[in-house]
Structure 1
Amino acid sequence: MQLRLDHYKANPGVYRLMLTMETFIKEQQLDPVLYELIKIRASQLNRCAYCIDMHIRDLRKMGETEERIALLSVWREVPYYTAAERAVLHLTEVVTELSQQGVPQAVYDEMLEHYSEQQFMTILTAINTINCWNRIGVATGMFPGCRDK
C-alpha cells in the first residue's frame, strides 16, 4: 500500500479547518466515548481503515471494553449499548449513508427522546466531521501506519 498524498502537506488550511470542527465539538462537551463510537461506526461504513484503527486505539485508552469495541458493527444484535447510544449509532448510520433513505422521522424522534435539539446538532456535527475525515483518508489512500516514520 502506498499513501497517495500527504494531506497535511498538500493543504495545511484544510487540516486547520478540520481541527476547528474537532475543537468545536469538544467545546460542546459531547461525551468523548460517544464521540469515539460515532467515529468508529462511521469509519466502518466508509471503509476508512486509518480512522477505524486510530479511534479503536483511542477508545481502548479510555478504558472501553473489548466487547463494545469488537461488536460495534453489530450494535443492534448485542445488549452492550444504552438506548441513548443506540439512537446515536442509528443516526450515524443514516447520516453516513444519506443517499439510501435520508433521515427518517423515526430516527429523529428517537434522538429527541434522549437529547435536546442543541445536543442533536452537536451530534450531527460530530457525524459530519468524521465523515469528512473519512473521505479525506480514503481519497488520499491513508492506512494504519502510513504516517509512521
Structure 2
Amino acid sequence: MTQRIDYQTQSPELFKKFVEFSLLLKQSAIEQSIRELVDLRVSQLNACAFCVDMHVKEATQHGERALRLHHVATWRESTLFSPRERAALAWAESLTQLSAQGVPDDLYERVRTQFSEKELSDLTFQVMAINAWNRVNVGFRVVPGTYDKAFGVDKSGLF
C-alpha cells in the first residue's frame, strides 16, 4: 500500500487542532483501557489498518492482554469484558454504524446504567474522534507502522 497524500503537511493547522482535540480526550472521564478498546473496535469496523495497528501496539504497551485484544472483534461472544466495557463497545458500534433509526432507546438505557452523563458525553467524543481519524487514514491510505516512533508505539515489542 502506498500513501496517497500527506494530510499532515497539506493541512497543518487542521491537523494540529485535531491532534490537540484528541490529546484532550486522554483527560476525559473514560478510563484509558476503555478508550483503547473503543478505538480498536471502531478501527476494525472502519477497516482502518493504520489505526488497528497503532491501537493494538498502544494497548499492549499499556498492559492490555493479547487475548482480550484478539477478542475485541467478537466481544459479544467473549467472556473477557466487563459490563461497562460491553456497554462502551455497543455504544461505539452503534454510533459508528448509524442506522436510519438512530441509536435505539434500549441501547441508550443499557449504556446509561454503566456511564454517568459526563462519561457518556466523553465516550461519545472518543467515538467521534476515532471515526474521524479512521476516515482520514483510510481515505489517504496511511501505511500501518509509518508513525510508530512519533506516536511512541515503537516500544510495544510487536514487530
- TM-score by length of structure 1 reads 0.94
Residue pair 2:50, 2:137 contacting (<8 A) in 1 also: yes
Q: Structure 2 CA distance, aligned partners of 1:148 and 1:46?
A: 20
Q: Structure 2 CA distance, aligned partners of 1:25 and 1:59?
A: 16
Residues 2-34 of structure 1 show CA distances to partners (whole Å, capped at 9, x for unaligned) of: 100111101012211211221321222421111
Q: Structure 2 CA distance, aligned partners of 1:42 and 1:81?
A: 16
2:109 is matched with: 109
Structure 1 segment 44-55 matched on structure 2, within 5 A: 44-55=44-55
Report the secondary structure of 2:94's partner residue. helix
1:5 is matched with: 5
Residues 66 and 97 (structure 1), Cα distance of their counterparts in 2 relative to 1, 3 Å cut:
same
- Identity among equivalent positions (%) equals 33
RMSD of aligned alpha carbons: 1.6
Report the secondary structure of 1:98's partner residue. coil
Residues 13 and 78 (structure 1), Cα distance of their counterparts in 2 relative to 1, 3 Å cut:
same
1:38 is matched with: 38
Amino acid in the other structure paired with 1:137: N
Q: How many residues align?
A: 149
Instruction: Tell which deviates more after alignment, 44-53 or 20-29.
Output: 20-29
Structure with higher helix content: 1
Amino acid in the other structure paired with 2:82: T
Structure 2 stretches lacking a partner, 5+ long:
150-159
Q: Structure 2 CA distance, aligned partners of 1:148 and 1:71?
A: 23
Residues 50 and 15 (structure 1), Cα distance of their counterparts in 2 relative to 1, 3 Å cut:
same
Q: Structure 2 CA distance, aligned partners of 1:79 and 1:100?
A: 31
- TM-score by length of structure 2 reads 0.88
Moved over 4 A (4+): none
2:57 is matched with: 57
